[in-house]
Amino acid sequence: MDSTSAARRRINAIHSHLVTSSRSSPLLLSSNPTAGEFYLDNGYSVVLPEKLSTGKWHVYRSARSPFKLVSRFPDHPDIATLHDNFEHAVHDFRDYKYLGTRVRVDGTVGDYKWMTYGEVGTARTALGSGLVHHGITTGSSVGIYFINRPEWLIVDQACASYSYVSVPLYDTLGPDAVKFIVNHANVQAIFCVAETLNSLLSGLSEMPSVRLVVVVGGLNESLPSLPPSAGVKVVSYSVLLNQGRSNPQPFCPPKPDDVATLCYTSGTTGTPKGVVLTHANLIANVAGSSFSVKFFSSDIYISYLPLAHIYERANQILAVYFGVAVGFYQGDNMKLLDDLAALRPTVFSSVPRLYNRIYDGITNAVKTSGGLKERLFNAAYNAKKQALLNGKSASPIWDRLVFNKIKDRLGGRVRFMTSGASPLSPEVLEFLKICFGGRVSEGYGMTETSCVISGMDEGDNLTGHVGSPNPACEVKLMDVPEMNYTSADEPHPRGEICVRGPIIFRGYYKDEVQTREVIDEDGWLHTGDIGLWLPGGRLKIIDRKKNIFKLAQGEYIAPEKIENVYAKCRFVGQCFIYGDSFNSSLVAVVSVDPDVLKSWAASEGIKGELRELCNNPRVKAAVLSDMDAVGRESQLRGFEFAKAVTLVLEPFTLENGLLTPTFKIKRPQARNTSQKQ
């Protein structure tokens, strides 16, 4: 009897213990009562043994595809690469709107103007042919050095169709980081805009691999020509397109295991790391996500989250698969609301930082409106909340009276909102659901897993978790004894979140050591996040393994968890929690919300400039008392409360080096800046 047939029989035995639930059931799987007493009914996930030879059942998979990890789109198994995905879209959605922008050539802003999928397909072919014409060889790295705009995606599609590796270069990493990435990834061609051209040219002598610089939006006659000795040609985007049209080249389609992109992640310390992602990685991740996230060719998506990050990249691959129209913002976050009003998108992806601002803006407006308006809002909110909890539809009168005005802030048509990059508080998620009336889904992922690891399932009304595993991966929690997290914990198993499957990256580029630190010999990627399993097979993130520190009395502190709690305080714009093993209590550095602070001080009769207010003991006491109230509400433990607070006016930003490009606090830098306080 060979081991394969034994293994197959064991899998069949597990299979017989589970049956797919009927559509009416909120859970996807239920037990098969005829299969004996050994079944695991776990709702959104199924639990399997890690190795068939051991009895430990702790590997979770999506109930949507429990016995085979998804690696292709079920409706289109022929799509194996990003090139295939785009070709499918050009074929099926040729005359549908694809890329839209408002900014005219002269820099003024008008209505959205669109390119169709067919037109973008033609531009992609010309662009790829132009790169071949300039002698850029297959497999070369191509840098993209500008913020979101149609050309970003056209260049990316050209890279996929002609087997180039796209390498996003982003300003927020600073000029030194751009130079580091160009050299590290051996970038041969760079697409930039007129604004970044000079800084790029001034550093070219230190970037010997670069042979071609293409300027988007620049006029060819105004571009500098470099001496032949430099070995670098500078051409405008339009000239490159014309050269490609005059010298058309056949596609050079990639294989699924070819590298599609090198995504450099900032990390909170050290030099950027190049995450190697293949076509198969990205297709698997998006194919898995497509089980629960369905777009339509009538959908409109607004692109403003940085395309250099995996969250927006994955959204774009999914948009292409479904034939979605993608409108770009003007490039200025302060004008985003104006762009939303003009585009009126149906799908809106964002990060908690922006959702928290929307939440604060609306709740503060309701509080200050007082009287009848405030009572009306609360009545409408509670009625809709009750209906949601009971799985019913609320009366449309509430939308007409109250919520349609709020919906109009995002253009009035949003039916689906996603949140990622950091935890969204359950209150804010519920608030978005009630006010905007569509589906709100929080997901969890990282660059190293090609984006989504898990996401909330449709129809799941429980908040405070990140859903069940993406059908393209399996997840297990590994014990972290030094932090007292184990799979035997009651009432919920806890541990470090580990992920395996076709979505796992190939490794860090040219860095075997760091790759081996995160991927173990069994192929599990160790995320560094601590999670627990809630009933129904939902994953909840509770901690971070890396940023833990101990207080003098031996208690472990997870600062990010506490910062997310204090972020709900009305005075707090941003918050940094600090402590060490020499002291028994925590301190907070709070970047204040200037508007809230000003209006509160005025109502209390406290006069002075904002800077004086920040140093006023009465103001500090009021902020700390508000933070304490929020902390008690969120059930922080005694030692997790900040015992002192320093108020600062300056926000933590990318520019002052206190935030990573994914808006996480750079802890060592924040500590150094606030050392005096």
Residue 621's CB is within 10 A of a number of other CB atoms, namely 11
Which pLDDT value is given to residue 54? 64
- Token pair belonging to 83: 């090139």
Q: How many domains does the chain divide into?
A: 3
Domain end, chosen from 225, 257, 290, is at: 290
Answer for the pair 200, 213: CB distance below 8 angstroms, yes or no: yes
At 41 the pLDDT is: 44
| CATH code: domain of residue 377 | 3.40.50.12780
List, in order, residues 6 or more apart from 12 with CB less than 8 Å away: none
Tell me, yes or no, whether 441 and 514 share the same domain.
yes
Calculate mean pLDDT across residues 137-163: 97
Whether 566 has a pLDDT exceeding 60, the answer reads: yes
In a shared domain, residues 504 and 586: no
- 137 lies in the same domain as 220: yes
Residue 567: inside a domain: yes
Looking at the fold, whether 238 and 122 belong to one and the same domain comes out as yes
pLDDT at 415 over 50: yes
Q: Is 527 a domain residue?
A: yes
Q: pLDDT class for 37, splitting at 50, 70, 90?
A: very low
Question: Does 662 reside within a domain?
Answer: yes
Residue 530 shares a structural domain with residue 554: no
Give how far the C-alpha of residue 663 lies from the chain's centroid of Cα atoms, to the nearest Å: 11
Domain annotation covers residue 300? no
Q: Give the model's pLDDT for residue 196.
A: 87
Q: Is residue 57 part of a domain?
A: no
In a domain, 66, yes or no: no
In a domain, 631, yes or no: yes
- Are 397 and 504 found together in one domain? yes
Instruction: Give the pTM.
Output: 0.81
Task: State yes or no: pLDDT of 19 exceeds 50.
Answer: no
Q: Using one digit for the tens of pLDDT, what is the confidence trace for 348-359?
A: 999 888 898 899
Query: How far apart (Å, rounded) are the C-alpha atoms in residues 338 and 204?
Result: 38
Residues 370 and 440 in one domain: yes
One domain, residues 152 and 251: yes
pLDDT at 414 over 60: yes
Q: Domain with 196 in it: what CATH number?
A: 3.40.50.980
Among 270, 290, 310, the domain boundary falls at 290
> Domain containing 657 — which CATH number?
3.30.300.30
pLDDT at 33 over 70: no
pLDDT at 35 over 60: no
The sign one gets for the Cα dihedral 286, 290, 292, 298 is positive
**C-alpha closest to that of 313 among 79, 153, 506:** 153
Nearest to 381 by CA among 418, 433, 458, 416: 433
Most confident of 13-22, 88-97, 461-470, 554-563: 88-97
For residue 463, the Cα-to-chain-centroid distance in whole angstroms is 18
- Express each pLDDT in 238-249 by its tens digit: 999 999 999 999
Res. 1: pLDDT tops 70: no
**276 and 185 both lie in a single domain:** yes
Same domain membership, residue 363 and residue 229: no
Give pLDDT tens digits for 637-664: 888 899 999 999 888 887 887 877 767 7
What pLDDT, on a 0 to 100 scale, did the predictor assign at position 677? 67
Q: Which residues contact 646 (CB under 8 A, 6 or more apart)?
A: 587, 588, 589, 590, 674, 677
Q: Is position 1 within any domain?
A: no
**What is the rounded average pLDDT for all residues in the chain?**
88
The DSSP line for 479-509 is: -BGGGTB-TT-SSS-EEEEEEESTTS--EET
Position of tokens 């933070």?
627
Is 558 found in the same domain as 489? no
Is residue 520 domain-shared with residue 585, that is, in the same domain? Answer: no
Domain hosting residue 164, numbered range: 82-89+115-290
pLDDT digits (tens, 9 = 90+) for 474-486: 999 999 887 789 9
Distance CA(136)–CA(152), nearest Å, equals: 18
The per-residue DSSP string of 153-186 comes to HHHHHHHHHTTPEEEE--GGG-HHHHHHHHHHTT
State which of 266, 290, 314 marks the end of a domain.
290
Instruction: Note whether 511 and 534 are within 8 A (CB).
Output: no
pLDDT of residue 270: 59
Give the mean pLDDT of 618-628.
93
Q: What is the mean pLDDT of residues 507-523?
A: 94
Check pLDDT > 70 for residue 14.
no
Question: Has residue 46 got a pLDDT over 50?
Answer: yes
